[in-house]
Chain A
Amino acid sequence: MLVSVYRYNPETDKKPYMKDYQVEIPEGKDLMVLDVLALIKEQDESLTYRRSCREGVCGSDGLNISGKNGLACVTPLSEAVKGGKLVLRPLPGLPVIRDLVIDMSLFYKQYEKIQPYLINDQPAPAIERLQSPEDRAKLDGLYECILCACCSTSCPSFWWNPERFVGPAGLLQAYRFLADSRDTATQDRLANLDDPFSVFRCRGIMNCVNVCPKGLNPTKAIGHIRSMLLHKEI
């Protein structure tokens, strides 16, 4: 099988280029894209990519796979190969450090901005802060995010304004804490999201929903944040 891989080593290459590899795929097996990368690495040790858990939990191996962002470890070749060819590029929109490895500083900066931790100004109880099963259920579909950046790097609003637009991953987490019954900083959190960029640069095109490897829905969470802002102001 032909695999075309984005290569760029800033120390030796003037500009990025696509390099083709012929990879022998074992018969009768639907390998994951990450397995193919390992086979290429046997041919060419200079290829650089991130990976860790190889089972869709750590979020390290987000790639642009034949044009669609996804995790290499949980994307089977049967889904990724188009016209007998596999095309692997780094996640778009963020600076490339080398080959398939991107600099995720801006992504993490946006994540940090939404204060992704529980804030509670009440004295801590002896054992734990209790939550009803109904309130806990509100966090389903939010807490599962693994911060792989597949969504934010598929979002044109994040491409054009990565310094100012929080992006789908950060906003999903913003809503995760807005929706948490144990959090007491809801009003401050909302006040920090009211500007024209942080939330409202989302145009609702749902690229984020289309690519999320965990099947989450950031667009829906962004809609909930807008509603909360609206309820606060009307």
Chain B
Amino acid sequence: MGVSITNFGRSGLHDWMIQRASAVILAVYSVFLLGFFLTHPDLQFSEWKALFGHLGFRIFSLLALISVCAHAWIGLWTISTDYLKATGIRFVFQAAYVIALFVYLVWGIEILWGV
């Protein structure tokens, strides 16, 4: 029926699945960070650096970053197709968030592996 070339996945089901999976990953990541802060009341830079020096945590962080990008793409695409009825404005908005998410992703990778 309705098709789209600007949504994230190949189908509505695909988008829906990714949005839910990414939400779970982000929730787990947030709870982990919250737990880390609670167990380190006097957090020092060295401890913070050590956390990000661990390969497992870098992978976890990258997974969370990719999840943010996918989740935001799907969410913003939904909002744009609900509220932006003029095709030109909608396209500019969609292009803007896709580029912004790409920048965040590359920048985030550089930060994670630049520690």
By a beta-carbon cutoff of 8 Å, the part of chain A in contact with chain B is 113, 156-157, 160-161, 163-164, 192-201, 226, 229-230, 233
Contacts and interface: CB of A to CB of B under 8 A. Distances in A.
Contact of B12 (A113, A163, A197): A197
12 contacts: A113-B1, A161-B82, A164-B2, A193-B1, A194-B12, A195-B2, A196-B12, A197-B1, A200-B12, A200-B13, A200-B15, A226-B16
Contacts of A157: 82
B45 interface: no
Question: Interface SS of chain A: helix, strand, loop or mixed?
Answer: loop
Interface of B: 1-4, 7, 11-13, 15-17, 78, 81-83
Interface residue SS majority, chain B: helix
Given A160-B82, A161-B82, A195 B1 contact: yes
A226 B14 CA distance: 11
Given A164-B1, A226-B16, A230-B17, A195 B11 contact: yes
B82 A196 contact: no
Contacts of B17: 230
B16 A160 contact: no
A196 B83 contact: no
B90 to A, nearest CB: 12
Chain A CB within 10 A, most for which of B1, B3, B81: B1
A160 B79 CA distance: 10
Given A229-B13, A233-B13, A198 B82 contact: no
Contacts of A196: 2, 4, 7, 11-12, 15
Contacts of B82: 156-157, 160-161
B8 to A, nearest CB: 9
Nearest to A230: B13
Given A195-B2, A197-B12, 16 more contacts: A160-B82, A164-B1, A192-B1, A194-B11, A194-B12, A195-B1, A195-B4, A195-B11, A196-B7, A196-B11, A197-B1, A197-B2, A198-B12, A200-B13, A230-B17, A233-B13
